[in-house]
Structure 1
Protein backbone atom coordinates (compact mmCIF):
# COMPACT_ATOMS: atom_id res chain seq x y z
CA UNK A 1 0.00 0.00 0.00
CA UNK A 2 1.17 3.52 -0.66
CA UNK A 3 1.44 5.94 2.22
CA UNK A 4 -1.56 8.06 1.40
CA UNK A 5 -4.96 9.11 2.59
CA UNK A 6 -7.92 7.70 0.76
CA UNK A 7 -11.41 9.12 0.74
CA UNK A 8 -13.87 6.31 1.21
CA UNK A 9 -17.42 6.41 -0.07
CA UNK A 10 -20.14 4.78 1.99
CA UNK A 11 -20.08 1.01 1.52
CA UNK A 12 -22.72 -1.58 2.08
CA UNK A 13 -22.34 -3.95 5.01
CA UNK A 14 -21.52 -6.76 2.58
CA UNK A 15 -18.43 -4.93 1.28
CA UNK A 16 -16.97 -4.05 4.67
CA UNK A 17 -14.68 -6.76 6.07
CA UNK A 18 -15.54 -8.20 9.45
CA UNK A 19 -13.51 -6.62 12.23
CA UNK A 20 -12.93 -7.85 15.76
CA UNK A 21 -12.49 -5.31 18.54
CA UNK A 22 -9.32 -5.78 20.56
CA UNK A 23 -7.64 -4.08 23.46
CA UNK A 24 -4.02 -3.90 24.43
CA UNK A 25 -3.40 -6.71 26.90
CA UNK A 26 0.14 -5.56 27.45
CA UNK A 27 3.63 -4.90 26.16
CA UNK A 28 6.45 -7.34 26.65
CA UNK A 29 9.91 -8.09 25.35
CA UNK A 30 10.44 -11.10 23.12
CA UNK A 31 12.93 -13.19 25.10
CA UNK A 32 14.60 -14.42 21.89
CA UNK A 33 14.84 -11.26 19.75
CA UNK A 34 14.69 -8.64 22.54
CA UNK A 35 12.10 -6.78 20.46
CA UNK A 36 8.94 -5.37 22.02
CA UNK A 37 5.66 -7.16 21.39
CA UNK A 38 2.24 -5.52 21.65
CA UNK A 39 -0.28 -8.14 22.74
CA UNK A 40 -3.78 -7.44 21.39
CA UNK A 41 -6.64 -9.39 22.96
CA UNK A 42 -10.12 -9.92 21.58
CA UNK A 43 -12.55 -8.14 23.92
CA UNK A 44 -15.03 -11.03 23.65
CA UNK A 45 -12.73 -14.06 23.85
CA UNK A 46 -9.33 -15.20 25.03
CA UNK A 47 -7.81 -14.93 21.54
CA UNK A 48 -4.61 -12.89 21.40
CA UNK A 49 -2.54 -11.45 18.56
CA UNK A 50 1.12 -10.57 19.14
CA UNK A 51 2.59 -7.83 16.94
CA UNK A 52 6.33 -7.19 17.10
CA UNK A 53 7.10 -3.45 17.04
CA UNK A 54 10.13 -1.21 17.22
CA UNK A 55 11.56 0.16 20.46
CA UNK A 56 10.49 3.76 19.75
CA UNK A 57 6.95 2.74 18.81
CA UNK A 58 6.65 0.58 21.93
CA UNK A 59 7.83 3.56 23.97
CA UNK A 60 5.15 5.79 22.40
CA UNK A 61 2.50 3.21 23.31
CA UNK A 62 3.88 2.75 26.84
CA UNK A 63 3.98 6.50 27.50
CA UNK A 64 0.28 6.79 26.73
CA UNK A 65 -0.68 3.59 28.58
CA UNK A 66 1.04 4.92 31.68
CA UNK A 67 -0.27 8.46 31.11
CA UNK A 68 3.27 9.79 31.46
CA UNK A 69 3.62 13.52 30.85
CA UNK A 70 6.40 14.60 28.50
CA UNK A 71 7.94 18.08 28.43
CA UNK A 72 7.25 18.45 24.69
CA UNK A 73 4.69 16.77 22.42
CA UNK A 74 5.74 13.37 21.13
CA UNK A 75 5.14 12.51 17.47
CA UNK A 76 1.78 10.84 18.14
CA UNK A 77 0.69 13.78 20.30
CA UNK A 78 1.56 16.04 17.37
CA UNK A 79 -0.52 13.88 15.02
CA UNK A 80 -3.47 14.04 17.42
CA UNK A 81 -3.16 17.81 17.75
CA UNK A 82 -2.75 18.26 13.99
CA UNK A 83 -5.86 16.17 13.33
CA UNK A 84 -7.83 18.19 15.88
CA UNK A 85 -6.53 21.43 14.35
CA UNK A 86 -7.96 20.31 11.00
CA UNK A 87 -11.35 19.69 12.66
CA UNK A 88 -11.08 15.96 12.12
CA UNK A 89 -11.28 13.08 14.56
CA UNK A 90 -9.91 9.57 14.58
CA UNK A 91 -12.85 7.18 14.88
CA UNK A 92 -11.05 3.82 14.91
CA UNK A 93 -7.91 2.01 13.83
CA UNK A 94 -7.85 -1.37 12.13
CA UNK A 95 -5.03 -3.87 11.75
CA UNK A 96 -6.21 -4.52 8.24
CA UNK A 97 -3.77 -6.82 6.49
CA UNK A 98 -0.96 -9.33 6.98
CA UNK A 99 1.23 -9.60 3.90
CA UNK A 100 4.70 -11.17 3.70
CA UNK A 101 4.86 -11.41 7.52
CA UNK A 102 4.18 -7.66 7.83
CA UNK A 103 1.08 -6.22 9.46
CA UNK A 104 -0.65 -3.18 7.92
CA UNK A 105 -3.16 -0.85 9.52
CA UNK A 106 -5.63 1.87 8.62
CA UNK A 107 -6.45 4.93 10.69
CA UNK A 108 -10.09 5.89 10.10
CA UNK A 109 -10.89 9.58 10.44
CA UNK A 110 -13.94 11.75 9.94
CA UNK A 111 -13.82 15.36 8.83
CA UNK A 112 -16.90 17.39 7.98
CA UNK A 113 -18.88 14.25 7.19
CA UNK A 114 -16.20 12.72 4.96
CA UNK A 115 -14.60 9.43 6.03
CA UNK A 116 -10.90 9.05 5.29
CA UNK A 117 -8.67 6.00 5.77
CA UNK A 118 -4.93 6.54 6.13
CA UNK A 119 -2.34 3.77 5.70
CA UNK A 120 -0.19 3.28 8.81
CA UNK A 121 2.04 0.89 10.66
CA UNK A 122 0.03 -0.91 13.35
CA UNK A 123 2.27 0.46 16.09
CA UNK A 124 1.64 4.06 14.98
CA UNK A 125 -2.08 3.40 14.58
CA UNK A 126 -2.27 1.90 18.08
CA UNK A 127 -0.30 4.80 19.61
CA UNK A 128 -2.68 7.26 17.94
CA UNK A 129 -5.78 5.28 18.96
CA UNK A 130 -4.66 5.47 22.59
CA UNK A 131 -4.36 9.24 22.33
CA UNK A 132 -7.83 9.52 20.78
CA UNK A 133 -9.34 6.91 23.10
CA UNK A 134 -10.90 5.22 20.08
CA UNK A 135 -11.43 1.51 19.44
CA UNK A 136 -8.82 -0.79 17.93
CA UNK A 137 -9.92 -3.56 15.58
CA UNK A 138 -8.29 -6.46 13.76
CA UNK A 139 -9.65 -7.70 10.45
CA UNK A 140 -10.87 -11.29 10.83
CA UNK A 141 -8.82 -12.27 7.74
CA UNK A 142 -5.67 -11.01 9.48
CA UNK A 143 -6.35 -13.29 12.43
CA UNK A 144 -6.85 -16.23 10.10
CA UNK A 145 -3.68 -15.34 8.16
CA UNK A 146 -1.65 -14.98 11.34
CA UNK A 147 -2.77 -18.44 12.44
CA UNK A 148 -1.78 -19.89 9.06
CA UNK A 149 1.59 -18.12 9.27
CA UNK A 150 2.11 -19.48 12.80
CA UNK A 151 1.24 -22.98 11.58
CA UNK A 152 4.00 -22.66 8.98
CA UNK A 153 6.63 -21.89 11.61
CA UNK A 154 8.98 -24.84 12.06
CA UNK A 155 10.26 -24.21 15.60
CA UNK A 156 7.13 -22.97 17.36
CA UNK A 157 3.96 -24.92 17.97
CA UNK A 158 1.20 -22.35 17.34
CA UNK A 159 -1.11 -23.87 19.95
CA UNK A 160 1.62 -23.71 22.57
CA UNK A 161 2.43 -20.09 21.61
CA UNK A 162 -1.26 -19.12 21.84
CA UNK A 163 -1.67 -20.82 25.23
CA UNK A 164 1.53 -19.20 26.51
CA UNK A 165 0.38 -15.73 25.46
CA UNK A 166 -3.14 -16.23 26.83
CA UNK A 167 -1.84 -17.44 30.20
CA UNK A 168 0.78 -14.78 30.84
CA UNK A 169 0.26 -13.14 34.20
CA UNK A 170 0.44 -9.39 34.72
CA UNK A 171 4.05 -9.50 35.93
CA UNK A 172 5.12 -11.32 32.77
CA UNK A 173 3.27 -8.78 30.64
CA UNK A 174 5.33 -5.96 32.12
CA UNK A 175 4.08 -2.71 33.62
CA UNK A 176 1.74 -2.06 30.72
CA UNK A 177 -1.19 -4.20 31.78
CA UNK A 178 -4.73 -3.12 30.97
Structure 2
Protein backbone atom coordinates (compact mmCIF):
# COMPACT_ATOMS: atom_id res chain seq x y z
CA UNK A 1 0.00 0.00 0.00
CA UNK A 2 1.42 3.33 -1.02
CA UNK A 3 -0.42 5.43 1.50
CA UNK A 4 -3.56 5.51 3.56
CA UNK A 5 -5.84 8.30 4.51
CA UNK A 6 -8.53 8.51 7.15
CA UNK A 7 -11.81 10.29 6.73
CA UNK A 8 -14.83 10.70 8.94
CA UNK A 9 -17.28 10.80 6.02
CA UNK A 10 -19.91 8.17 6.84
CA UNK A 11 -21.18 8.23 3.24
CA UNK A 12 -17.87 6.78 2.09
CA UNK A 13 -19.24 3.33 2.93
CA UNK A 14 -22.21 3.72 0.57
CA UNK A 15 -22.35 4.13 -3.18
CA UNK A 16 -21.34 7.62 -4.27
CA UNK A 17 -23.19 9.20 -7.23
CA UNK A 18 -20.08 8.92 -9.41
CA UNK A 19 -19.64 5.19 -8.72
CA UNK A 20 -21.08 2.24 -10.64
CA UNK A 21 -21.68 -1.02 -8.80
CA UNK A 22 -20.00 -3.93 -10.54
CA UNK A 23 -19.95 -7.68 -10.14
CA UNK A 24 -17.35 -10.17 -11.26
CA UNK A 25 -18.45 -11.62 -14.59
CA UNK A 26 -15.52 -14.00 -14.53
CA UNK A 27 -11.82 -14.68 -14.82
CA UNK A 28 -10.15 -15.63 -18.06
CA UNK A 29 -6.80 -15.72 -19.78
CA UNK A 30 -5.96 -13.14 -22.43
CA UNK A 31 -5.28 -15.22 -25.55
CA UNK A 32 -2.70 -12.70 -26.80
CA UNK A 33 -0.66 -11.95 -23.66
CA UNK A 34 -1.54 -15.10 -21.68
CA UNK A 35 -2.22 -12.85 -18.68
CA UNK A 36 -5.29 -13.25 -16.44
CA UNK A 37 -8.18 -10.84 -16.87
CA UNK A 38 -10.82 -10.07 -14.25
CA UNK A 39 -13.98 -9.05 -16.06
CA UNK A 40 -16.25 -6.72 -14.10
CA UNK A 41 -19.82 -6.07 -15.26
CA UNK A 42 -22.16 -3.25 -14.29
CA UNK A 43 -25.02 -4.74 -12.25
CA UNK A 44 -27.52 -2.40 -13.96
CA UNK A 45 -26.35 -2.60 -17.61
CA UNK A 46 -24.19 -4.47 -20.09
CA UNK A 47 -21.11 -2.33 -19.46
CA UNK A 48 -18.02 -4.47 -18.86
CA UNK A 49 -14.55 -3.56 -17.65
CA UNK A 50 -11.64 -5.94 -18.20
CA UNK A 51 -8.71 -5.53 -15.80
CA UNK A 52 -5.48 -7.42 -16.49
CA UNK A 53 -4.03 -8.79 -13.24
CA UNK A 54 -1.10 -10.88 -12.09
CA UNK A 55 -1.31 -14.66 -11.92
CA UNK A 56 -1.05 -14.78 -8.10
CA UNK A 57 -3.79 -12.18 -7.65
CA UNK A 58 -5.99 -13.99 -10.17
CA UNK A 59 -5.45 -17.20 -8.21
CA UNK A 60 -6.48 -15.46 -4.97
CA UNK A 61 -9.67 -14.27 -6.68
CA UNK A 62 -10.34 -17.70 -8.22
CA UNK A 63 -9.89 -19.49 -4.89
CA UNK A 64 -12.56 -17.31 -3.30
CA UNK A 65 -14.92 -17.49 -6.30
CA UNK A 66 -14.72 -21.27 -6.18
CA UNK A 67 -15.07 -21.23 -2.38
CA UNK A 68 -12.18 -23.64 -2.08
CA UNK A 69 -10.24 -23.68 1.15
CA UNK A 70 -6.47 -23.66 0.90
CA UNK A 71 -4.64 -25.67 3.59
CA UNK A 72 -3.09 -22.45 4.95
CA UNK A 73 -4.40 -18.87 4.87
CA UNK A 74 -3.44 -16.88 1.80
CA UNK A 75 -2.32 -13.25 1.99
CA UNK A 76 -5.85 -11.94 1.45
CA UNK A 77 -7.11 -14.25 4.21
CA UNK A 78 -4.44 -12.76 6.47
CA UNK A 79 -5.69 -9.25 5.62
CA UNK A 80 -9.25 -10.31 6.42
CA UNK A 81 -8.15 -11.82 9.75
CA UNK A 82 -6.05 -8.77 10.57
CA UNK A 83 -8.93 -6.38 9.88
CA UNK A 84 -11.27 -8.50 12.01
CA UNK A 85 -8.65 -8.63 14.78
CA UNK A 86 -8.53 -4.83 14.74
CA UNK A 87 -12.36 -4.65 14.86
CA UNK A 88 -12.48 -3.16 11.37
CA UNK A 89 -14.90 -3.96 8.56
CA UNK A 90 -14.33 -3.61 4.84
CA UNK A 91 -17.37 -1.70 3.58
CA UNK A 92 -16.60 -1.40 -0.12
CA UNK A 93 -13.85 -1.27 -2.69
CA UNK A 94 -13.65 1.25 -5.52
CA UNK A 95 -11.61 1.11 -8.71
CA UNK A 96 -10.99 4.82 -8.51
CA UNK A 97 -8.44 5.80 -11.14
CA UNK A 98 -6.92 4.90 -14.47
CA UNK A 99 -3.54 6.51 -15.12
CA UNK A 100 -1.20 5.53 -17.94
CA UNK A 101 -3.13 2.28 -18.51
CA UNK A 102 -2.82 1.33 -14.81
CA UNK A 103 -5.88 0.95 -12.59
CA UNK A 104 -5.87 2.11 -8.96
CA UNK A 105 -8.31 1.18 -6.21
CA UNK A 106 -9.33 2.21 -2.71
CA UNK A 107 -10.46 -0.13 0.06
CA UNK A 108 -12.92 1.60 2.41
CA UNK A 109 -12.83 0.25 5.97
CA UNK A 110 -14.82 1.19 9.04
CA UNK A 111 -12.70 1.07 12.17
CA UNK A 112 -14.40 2.20 15.39
CA UNK A 113 -16.80 4.44 13.46
CA UNK A 114 -14.06 6.10 11.44
CA UNK A 115 -13.87 5.51 7.69
CA UNK A 116 -10.35 4.69 6.55
CA UNK A 117 -9.36 4.69 2.87
CA UNK A 118 -6.48 2.42 1.87
CA UNK A 119 -4.79 2.62 -1.54
CA UNK A 120 -4.70 -0.75 -3.28
CA UNK A 121 -4.22 -2.55 -6.54
CA UNK A 122 -7.64 -3.45 -7.96
CA UNK A 123 -6.82 -7.17 -7.89
CA UNK A 124 -6.05 -7.07 -4.16
CA UNK A 125 -9.12 -4.94 -3.46
CA UNK A 126 -11.33 -7.37 -5.40
CA UNK A 127 -9.84 -10.40 -3.64
CA UNK A 128 -10.52 -8.75 -0.28
CA UNK A 129 -14.04 -7.65 -1.30
CA UNK A 130 -14.89 -11.25 -2.17
CA UNK A 131 -13.76 -12.42 1.26
CA UNK A 132 -15.81 -9.70 3.00
CA UNK A 133 -18.76 -10.07 0.61
CA UNK A 134 -18.81 -6.30 0.17
CA UNK A 135 -19.70 -4.29 -2.94
CA UNK A 136 -17.26 -3.49 -5.73
CA UNK A 137 -17.61 -0.13 -7.45
CA UNK A 138 -15.89 1.57 -10.38
CA UNK A 139 -15.69 5.32 -10.77
CA UNK A 140 -17.63 6.62 -13.81
CA UNK A 141 -14.52 8.53 -14.87
CA UNK A 142 -12.57 5.24 -14.91
CA UNK A 143 -15.23 3.63 -17.11
CA UNK A 144 -15.08 6.60 -19.50
CA UNK A 145 -11.27 6.65 -19.48
CA UNK A 146 -11.10 2.92 -20.15
CA UNK A 147 -13.40 3.33 -23.17
CA UNK A 148 -11.16 6.08 -24.54
CA UNK A 149 -8.03 4.05 -23.82
CA UNK A 150 -9.47 0.98 -25.54
CA UNK A 151 -10.56 3.05 -28.54
CA UNK A 152 -7.02 4.36 -29.00
CA UNK A 153 -5.52 0.86 -29.04
CA UNK A 154 -5.37 -1.49 -32.01
CA UNK A 155 -8.27 -3.59 -30.74
CA UNK A 156 -11.62 -2.28 -31.91
CA UNK A 157 -13.65 -1.25 -28.85
CA UNK A 158 -16.93 -2.59 -30.28
CA UNK A 159 -15.34 -5.95 -31.11
CA UNK A 160 -13.83 -6.19 -27.61
CA UNK A 161 -17.16 -5.28 -26.00
CA UNK A 162 -19.05 -7.87 -28.07
CA UNK A 163 -16.42 -10.50 -27.28
CA UNK A 164 -16.59 -9.87 -23.52
CA UNK A 165 -20.39 -9.65 -23.41
CA UNK A 166 -20.87 -12.86 -25.38
CA UNK A 167 -18.53 -15.06 -23.38
CA UNK A 168 -20.24 -18.12 -22.00
CA UNK A 169 -19.32 -19.96 -18.82
CA UNK A 170 -17.13 -22.46 -20.69
CA UNK A 171 -15.10 -19.66 -22.26
CA UNK A 172 -14.74 -18.00 -18.87
CA UNK A 173 -13.12 -21.23 -17.70
CA UNK A 174 -15.30 -21.49 -14.59
CA UNK A 175 -12.59 -19.41 -12.91
CA UNK A 176 -9.82 -21.98 -13.41
CA UNK A 177 -6.38 -20.43 -13.72
Displacement of 1:17: 5.8
Could you list the structure 1 runs, at least 4 aligned residues long, displaced by more than 3 angstroms after superposition: none
Distance of 2:3 and 2:89 partners within structure 1: 17
Q: Is the 8 A contact 1:65 1:130 kept in 2?
A: yes
Alignment of 1:10-21 (within 5 A): 10=9, 18-21=18-21
What corresponds to 2:93 in structure 1?
Answer: 93
Alignment of 1:104-143 (within 5 A): 104-143=104-143
Q: Is the 8 A contact 1:90 1:109 kept in 2?
A: yes
Q: Is the 8 A contact 2:4 2:117 kept in 1?
A: yes
Higher-helix-fraction structure: 2
Q: RMSD across aligned C-alpha pairs, in angstroms?
A: 1.6
Residue deviations 1:100-121 (CA, integer Å, cap 9, x gap): 0000000000011100000000
Number of positions where the alignment pairs a residue of Structure 1 with one of Structure 2: 173
Unaligned runs of 5+ residues in structure 1 are none
Q: Is the 8 A contact 2:95 2:122 kept in 1?
A: yes
Alpha-carbon spacing, 1:5–1:17, altered in 2? closer, same or farther (3 Å): farther
With normalisation by structure 1, the TM-score equals 0.93
With normalisation by structure 2, the TM-score equals 0.94
Distance of 2:169 and 2:147 partners within structure 1: 24
Residue deviations 1:141-178 (CA, integer Å, cap 9, x gap): 0000000101111x21101101110111111111139x
What corresponds to 2:3 in structure 1?
Answer: 4
Unaligned runs of 5+ residues in structure 2 are none
Distance of 1:83 and 1:10 partners within structure 2: 19
Displacement of 1:10: 2.2
What corresponds to 2:76 in structure 1?
Answer: 76
What corresponds to 1:52 in structure 2?
Answer: 52
What corresponds to 1:102 in structure 2?
Answer: 102
